[in-house]
Amino acid sequence: MIPREFDYHAPQSVPDALSLLQQFGDEAKLLAGGHSLLPMMKMRFAQPGHLIDLARIPELKGIRESGGTIHIGAMTTENELIWSKVLQEKCPLLVEGARLISDPQVRYKGTIGGDISHGDPANDHPALMLALGASFVLKAASGERVVPADGFFVGTYDTLMKPDEIMTEIRIPVPAPGTGYCYAKLKRKIGDFATAAAAVTLRMKGEVVQEVAIALTNAGATPLKARAAEDALRGKAMTDASIAQAAGLAMGICDPAADQRGDAEYKRAMTGEMAQRALRMARSRASR
């Protein structure tokens, strides 16, 4: 399987990459880790005339914390997320999520920015970003803007990112100490996308829910924020009954596509189950 012919460009700075994007317009695609795009090009679902590789731009790499925010370069790989001391200590949800993505070889190449900007609702970072209240830095030749994750995903393979923009950074507010978290993912086998998955962050005071975020992977055309489920939990004691009720509300917004992983009814039920498991685990991890 060999892609259609294209020209390859390896700019060494963001401004150089942006000017290549402007020059080639619709003919160009940005190459991050290449583990979604290259398979699509091999299958000839994608046939860009120009490939702009972002791998040689040092400023797009790295993880740092400053002023209560974690800054992650968009070209940071899944493997780098997993081994990051900053994330292990301050944002373990992202480490837990990254460990469940595909397989080791793919995680050496796959990037957080590529995973997010691809706009695939089966990818794991979109729901993780919703649960963490992240935002994305998008740069164009005309300037930069910061867009919240909530609202960024507008359809399958469709986001607010414009064709002349490059995602340069992911910003995550450092979760308050004691925040409970979990990414519960059901997959048929290593390397497969989620049949269903749920990301949760949770702050408790005693048995009462102070704040909760629930986001769902591969349960519709975009990652879904389960707002009604969050509202039902917030400000109340968290019990097995309230968890089951919240899972029911989360299932209510699911509109999964039937495929080889199961029919819609099965996937909806599994999404509810993943939401329950993630909520229970987050509760056990949250300090009171």
Partner 1 sequence: MTRKQTVSFKLNGKTVDVVVEPRELLIHTLREKLLHTGPHIGCETSHCGACTVDLDGMSVKSCTVLTVQCQDADVLTIEGFEQGGTLHALQEGFTTQHGLQCGYCTPGMITRAYRLLKEIPNPSEEEIRYWMAGNLCRCTGYQNIVKAVQYAATKLAATSA
Which residues inside 45-74 make contact with partner 1, applying CB under 8 A?
Answer: 51, 53, 55
> What's the closest the beta carbon of residue 10 comes to partner 1, in angstroms?
7
Using DSSP's 3-state secondary structure scheme, residue 180 falls into strand
Give rounded-to-5 percent helix, strand, coil for the chain: 35, 25, 35
The residue behind tokens 């769902």 is: 216
Q: Tell me the window of 102-110, 144-152, 163-171, 255-263 that interacts with partner 1 (CB under 8 A).
A: 102-110
Q: Which residues contact 203 (CB under 8 A, 6 or more apart)?
A: 176, 178, 179, 180, 209, 210, 211, 212, 286
Among 4, 64, 162, 188, binds partner 1 (CB under 8 A): 4
Cα dihedral 247, 241, 176, 59 in deg (nearest 10): -10
- Residue of 190, 237, 244, 258 that binds partner 1 (CB under 8 A): 190
Cα-to-chain-centroid distance, residue 172 = 12
What is the distance between the terminal CA atoms of the chain, rounded to a whole angstrom?
54
Rounded to the nearest angstrom, the gap between the alpha carbon of residue 112 and the centroid of all alpha carbons in its chain is 7
- If 0-12 CB within 10 Å is exposed, 13-18 middle and 19+ buried, where does residue 181 land? buried
Q: Does 27 bind partner 1 (CB under 8 A)?
A: no
Choosing from 105, 142, 239, 287, the residue that interacts with partner 1 (CB under 8 A) is: 105
For residue 197, give the 3-state DSSP assignment. strand
The span of 97-105, 119-127, 244-252, 270-278 binding partner 1 (CB under 8 A) equals: 97-105
Hey, what amino acid is at 188? R
Q: Which stretch binds partner 1 (CB under 8 A): 30-38, 132-140, 167-175, 242-250?
A: 30-38
Residue 279 carries which DSSP code?
H
Which residues are registered as beta bridge partners of 56?
none
Amino acid at 103: D
Quick one: 1 or 241, whose CB is closer to partner 1? Answer: 1
* Binding flag, residue 7, partner 1 (CB under 8 A): yes
Confirm or reject binding of residue 191 to partner 1 (CB under 8 A): yes
Angle at 65 between CA 171 and CA 202, to 5 degrees: 65
CB of 104 to partner 1, least distance (A): 5
Q: Is 3 in the site for partner 1 (CB under 8 A)?
A: yes
Least spacing, CB of residue 124 vs partner 1, in Å: 16
Among the listed ranges 100-108, 195-203, 219-227, 230-238, the one in contact with partner 1 (CB under 8 A) is 100-108
| Shortest distance (Å) from residue 283 CB to partner 1 | 26
Could you tell me the smallest distance in angstroms from the CB atom of residue 274 to partner 1?
Answer: 20
Query: Which residues are at the interface with partner 1 (CB under 8 A)?
Result: 1-8, 10, 34-35, 38-39, 41-42, 51, 53, 55, 79, 102-106, 108-109, 190-191
